[in-house]
Each structure stands twice: as structure tokens, then as C-alpha cells.
Structure 1
Amino acid sequence: MPSPKILTTSFHDQGVYPCPVCRVGKISHMPLMEAMACDFCQQIFTIDVEQQQIKMPSRQPPLIWYWNGFHWTEAQIEGVELGWAYVIAAIVFVLLPTTLIGMVAYNFPPKTESPLSWVPYVWTVLTFLLHFSIIIWLLIEVYQIPVGAYWRAIKERFVGH
């Protein structure tokens, strides 16, 4: 019995591909330009057919995606290598302040009859949430995640405009 073949498509400038940024729209060739644009989030990409990549030049340093025959790879920042040190730093940034405040609240608990005895515990949770939201915000800014386009797509899908 012959094995089924998986058909991959090579990237070329006249094709239509899913948008790697918003993941909702489709990117296609822009007439009279060596570029492609998304029909949903309006991002413009420069193309390199030889290397099977597109680049988003609207930010510096630009984001690059490679076509693997099925879909776009994860976004990479041109000239920047994000390694494990950044992940560890982000984890420490979130957990160290939260742990310090939680340890102080645990070791020096307020008197239970005090009307504000809940403040240290809420402060610990808020510390975690705010530090975590800073990391999320940085990821959104670095990778230029189009949050507005996502909300618009969700609204169109569920509300049905």
C-alpha cells in the first residue's frame, strides 16, 4: 500500500497565505509592489522568496516569519536572540516580589480583629497580578500582537456584524 503524501506548498509572492500577525486575515501580493498585505489587520510585509520568509518592517527591529510549507513559524526578532535568561528573568520578576510580600504577610500577620487584616493578602495577590501583567504587556509590545484586531475578529465572529 503506498504511503500518503503530505503536500507542502512553497512560498511565492503570488499566493495567498494566512496572516502570521492576526491569524484571522489572509496576506496576498500588493499590486506594483514587492510586498504583501493582510486584508484584516492591514499589516504590510516585505517578502524574500529565496529564503521563504516575510518581514514586518513597520517596527524596529523587524519581526520575521519563515514559511515551512504548511504555516508560518514563530515570530523572530531580526538580530535578537531571546534565550532562557529572559524567561528566567521574567519568572524572577514576577515571583520574587510576590514571595517577599507573601512571606512578610505570613510571618507578621495582622491582628484578626483589625478591620484591615485582609490588606496584606490582597496586596500579595495584586503584586503578582501587576508584575505578571507587566510581562504580558512587554510580550505584546515586543511581538506587536494586534490585540485590537483580535477583539474585532471575536466581535465579528460572535456578534455577527
Structure 2
Amino acid sequence: MRNAPHSKNCLNEQGIYPCPVCRCGQITVLPLMEAMSCNFCNHIFTTNFEQQLLKLADSQPSLTWRWNGKTWKGLQHPGLQLGWDYLIVAIAFVVLPTAIVGCSAYLFPPIPGTPLAWLPSVWILLTFMAHLACVAWLAVEYYQLPILLYFRAIGRRLFNLRLM
């Protein structure tokens, strides 16, 4: 690995930096490897010290950040642009199945007073929530929001505070 000029604000292999993924751990160089890893979320990163870039090696598409001396700045995914077409498809994926189930409940309503008269309303709500959860999961995966890691970090901090 080639080193950039050793400066306090430059990304170099001797430094310890905050993890751009989980924002809780620290990344350091892996011994005997040309890679870095986080001590909290265990992600592996490859580095380009000349351009001050850090690339997430264990995701597809790989995410890239540039070190500005204090924090990481995310770079756009090469070749991936989220436009209006993705938003329209996501809205249609949530609304259309919900509308189909809602129309069927409207056209064929249950007999009032029967034990399962509540089921169509709950089924409409479950359809909406399930499809919305699929779209939310895809958005979390695309933007690499480490939600589970945040909860784990909060749990660790709370557990450590209770032990003190």
C-alpha cells in the first residue's frame, strides 16, 4: 500500500478513523492485509490512500467514502441513480395490492355480526404494512442505514451504564 503524505488530516494506514457505516466503531488496518475493518460492525474496507477513499468491500454495490480530514463524505454509487421511476414503482407496489384487497372487501363485504367481520379491515392493513415494509427494507439496504447496529450500540451503552 502506498502512503499519502503523513499528515494529521490525511487518511493513512497508521490512523484510527470512525466507521462510516455504523458510526459507532473505529476502523483500523487489518494485520498482514491491505484492508481495514471496523471493530464494532465487522465490515471490511479497501483503501486508496492517494485519493483518500474508503470502499466497503463486503456489499454490492460497494459504497465509497472520501476522507476530508475530519469526517467521511459519501460518494454516489457509480451507475446507480434513483429517479422518479423508482419512486413511482415503489408507490405502485404499496398502493395497488392494497387497493385490490380493499376493492374485494368493498365488493364482497362480510355479513355484519359474524365472528370474522373484522378480518377484511385487518387484511387491508396487513397488506399495506407488508408492502410498505418491503419498500422500506429496500431503501435501508440501498442507503446502507445500519438500523440493527444502532439498536445494538444503544443496548451496549445502556448495559454498560447499568454495570457502572
The TM-score with structure 1 as length reference comes to 0.75
Is the deviation greater in 47-56 or in 66-75? 66-75
Judged with a 3 Å threshold, the aligned counterparts in structure 2 of structure 1 residues 50 and 76 are, in CA distance, closer, same or farther, namely same
Are residue 98 (structure 1) and residue 98 (structure 2) matched? yes
Question: Match of 1:99, as an amino acid?
Answer: A
Q: Which residue in 2 is equivalent to 1:4?
A: none
Question: Match of 1:63, as an amino acid?
Answer: L
Query: Where do 4+ consecutive residues of structure 1 move more than 6 Å?
Result: none
Question: Match of 1:72, as an amino acid?
Answer: W
User: Does structure 2 conserve the Cα–Cα contact (< 8 Å) formed by 1:10 and 1:52?
Assistant: no
Question: Match of 1:93, as an amino acid?
Answer: F
Deviations 1:81-130 (A, max 9, x none): 33332222112211221133224434553332222111110001000111
Question: Match of 1:12, as an amino acid?
Answer: L
Q: Structure 1 CA distance, aligned partners of 2:34 and 2:24?
A: 22
RMSD of aligned alpha carbons: 2.8
Q: Which residue in 1 is equivalent to 2:155?
A: 155
Are residue 12 (structure 1) and residue 14 (structure 2) matched? no
Deviations 1:16-63 (A, max 9, x none): 322111111011233444322111111111112333321111233322
Question: Match of 1:65, as an amino acid?
Answer: W
**Any gaps of 5 or more consecutive residues in structure 2?**
1-7
In the alignment of these two chains, the number of paired residues is 153
Q: Which residue in 2 is equivalent to 1:121?
A: 121
Give SS of 1:41's match: coil
Give SS of 2:128's match: helix
The TM-score with structure 2 as length reference comes to 0.74
User: Does structure 1 conserve the Cα–Cα contact (< 8 Å) formed by 2:56 and 2:62?
Assistant: yes
Q: Structure 1 CA distance, aligned partners of 2:73 and 2:48?
A: 15
Judged with a 3 Å threshold, the aligned counterparts in structure 2 of structure 1 residues 37 and 158 are, in CA distance, closer, same or farther, namely same
Give SS of 1:73's match: strand
Q: Structure 2 CA distance, aligned partners of 1:140 and 1:77?
A: 15
Q: Which residue in 1 is equivalent to 2:45?
A: 45
The share of aligned pairs that are identical, in percent, is: 50
Q: Structure 1 CA distance, aligned partners of 2:68 and 2:106?
A: 51
